[in-house]
Every structure is written in structure tokens, then in C-alpha cells.
Chain A
Amino acid sequence: MTEASVIGAGTVISGHVRGQGSLEILGRVEGDVSVTGNVAIGAAGRVRGNISAAELRISGHVQGDLRGTVAVLLESGARVVGDISAPRVGIAPGALARGHVQTDGEPAFAGARAPAAASRPVAPPARTAPAAAVSPTANKLEAKPVAFPTKVEAKAPPVPAKFEVKAPLPPPPKLAPPKPELRRPEPPRAAPAPSQPEFTPVRPLKPEPRRPPPPVVPVLSKGIKAKKKKSGD
């Protein structure tokens, strides 16, 4: 008989836990957990590490990836920061999850859903170009909302898209590499673009005035600075 294991509320384990049987975590575990049975994490349970088990039922906090061979269930009050993968994934209202969630078997549908992927344009742009937040709306309003999905997912147009992207990449100094193509054809509305260049010159300007003073200081107090650094280190 495999006795169920319990990590009590007043217990902290820093290290790996693995083996057979089920495990109930009411305390704290800092390390990976890998068991063949089920894992239940109580409301007061805290785990920092990856967890692998048959069925995971979580009411506490987990910082790490969850892998369930049967299911991963987040109960109300659960808080998970990390990726979740299992054939069955349940997230109850009141549970908080941050990370990639994948239900096994989805890959089979992925091919079929590819055409329908157009319905997902919102998600991909956000991930690919978070900086795009400023101008994407402008771009969409102007002309080519389709451009995002085509770039990310469509297979036919990628070639031209790539070229366009490459060309603009060098000129734009900072933000939003994907959008420059849109800016080119439509310079008038590229209002955000000018604002960015303005910032860029400002930065180089600042260092110039700052640079002169430093040389003066070090000359006067080189020895002192060096000593301070050494003592600080």
C-alpha cells in the first residue's frame, strides 16, 4: 500500500520531491515535484518549482510549470504563474493563471484551425510586438489591419512581408519594427514616428553635457573614487 504523503502546513521543503503515490501539499515546497499519483495543493500551500503528476488539483500558489498526465485543475483561490499542460485543464472562477496553457491533443486540431487563425489576430500581435501598443491602432485605422495576421501566420505573402520589414528595420531606431512598412507608404499619419525621432536626439544630447563634468571630477578625485569603489565592492 502506498501511503499518501502529506507536507504539513508548518513544513518547508527545499529540494526535489519525486516518487510514487499521491502527495498533498499544505506547506511550502521550493523545488520540483514529480510523482506518479495525484498532487493536491491546499489553499495555504506554496510551491516554487515545476510539478509533474497524474492529476493536479491546486488551491494554493504555484510558481512553476504544471504538467499533468491526466488533468490540471485550478480551484478558486489558486494562483499559478507558469505554463500548464495536460489533457484536461480546468480553471475555476476565482483562480488566477499566468502563462501558457496547453491541452494535449490540441496539436491535431491546430492544422484545421490554421485558416481560422485569422480570428486570433489580436493575441499574436500583442505577444510579438508589445511595443506596437502605441501605433497599431493608428495603422489599423489607416489601412491594413490584415497585415498583422498575414505576417504572423499566412504562408504565401511572408516573402514580400519579410523584405518590407528588413528594409525599414535599419532606419527606425527603436520601437515597432513590424510597423515601419506601414509608415513608409503613409508618412502623413506617421505622427508617432516623428515623436520617436525627437526622443532619440534628446538622449544623445544629454550625455554630451554630462560627459564634460565627469572628466573634471575624476581628475580631482581619482584616487578617492577608486578607493571608494574598492571599499564598496
Chain B
Amino acid sequence: MAGTVIGEGLTIEGDISGDEEIVIHGNLRGRLTTTDAVTVSGTAVVGADITGASLSVAGQVTGDVTASERVDIQAGGKLVGDIKAARFTIADGASFKGNVDMEV
């Protein structure tokens, strides 16, 4: 079970930091920092810089992303922002706009 779940219908304005997995179904505006995985579900709208071990995006994300392991944009996902990660995949049907830095 994920350590932290931001449910659909919930809005957070501010910073989130921690050392556990974070799953977002709702809205987040601010900054997100964790040492574990971050999952942005299809219902989520995130306007935040994200730092984590890995990031999976099925919803909308606007902000720069730094991942120590990988970033995956699922089909239907939308990401606008710069990405810095060792591995980066964009599924067919996903949209992305930004710079990519994979030389970590």
C-alpha cells in the first residue's frame, strides 16, 4: 500500500516531502519531494516540480521532474516540463513537451 495517497477531489496547495511512495489522484500545486516512487493517476492534475526515485504519469503534470531512476508517461498522460532521469519512456498516446536530460 502506498504510503501517501492524495484522493480524487482533494487539493493540496503547498509542499509535500517524505520518504515513501506517493500516489496522487487529486490536485497538487506546489512541490513534491520524496525518495520513493511517485504515481500520478489519470484523474490527477499536478502543477509542481517533482523529485523522486521514479515517476509514472497517467494524468496531467506541469513542472520539472527529477528522478533518480526513471520517468514513464503512460498513454493518456500529459507532461509539460523538463525531465532529468536515467530512463525515460513515453507511451504511445502520451503527450510531452520539455527538455530531456538522460545523462544522470
Contacts and interface: CB of A to CB of B under 8 A. Distances in A.
Nearest to B34: A11
B12 interface: yes
Nearest to A20: B9
Given A5-B26, A6-B2, A11-B4, A18 B10 contact: yes
Interface residues of A, number: 26
Contacts, number: 91
B14 A11 contact: no
Dominant secondary structure at the B interface: strand
A10 B21 CA distance: 9
Contacts of A21: 7-10
A185 to B, nearest CB: 60
B18 A27 contact: yes
Contact of B17 (A11, A16, A19, A22): A11
A15 B30 contact: yes
B16 interface: yes
Given A14-B14, A27-B18, A8 B7 contact: no
Contacts of A17: 10-12, 14
A21 B18 CA distance: 22
A2 interface: yes
B5 interface: yes
Contact of B20 (A4, A11, A20, A35): A11
Nearest to A5: B7
B27 interface: yes
Nearest to A13: B16
Contacts of A20: 9-10
Given A5-B26, A8-B3, A9-B3, A15 B12 contact: yes
B101 interface: no
A2 B8 contact: yes
B42 to A, nearest CB: 12
A18 B7 CA distance: 11
B34 to A, nearest CB: 8
Interface string B24-59: 011100100010000000000000000000000000
A4 B5 contact: yes
Interface in A8-45: 8-23, 27, 31, 35
B31 to A, nearest CB: 9
Interface of B: 2-22, 25-27, 30, 34
Given A19-B7, A19-B10, A19-B26, 9 more contacts: A2-B7, A4-B7, A5-B6, A6-B2, A11-B16, A11-B20, A12-B16, A12-B17, A15-B13
Interface of A: 1-23, 27, 31, 35
14 contacts: A2-B7, A4-B5, A5-B7, A8-B20, A9-B20, A11-B16, A11-B20, A12-B16, A12-B18, A13-B14, A14-B14, A17-B14, A19-B27, A35-B10
* Smallest CB-CB A-B distances: 10 pairs: A15-B14, A8-B3, A11-B18, A20-B9, A5-B7, A19-B10, A8-B4, A3-B7, A10-B20, A10-B19
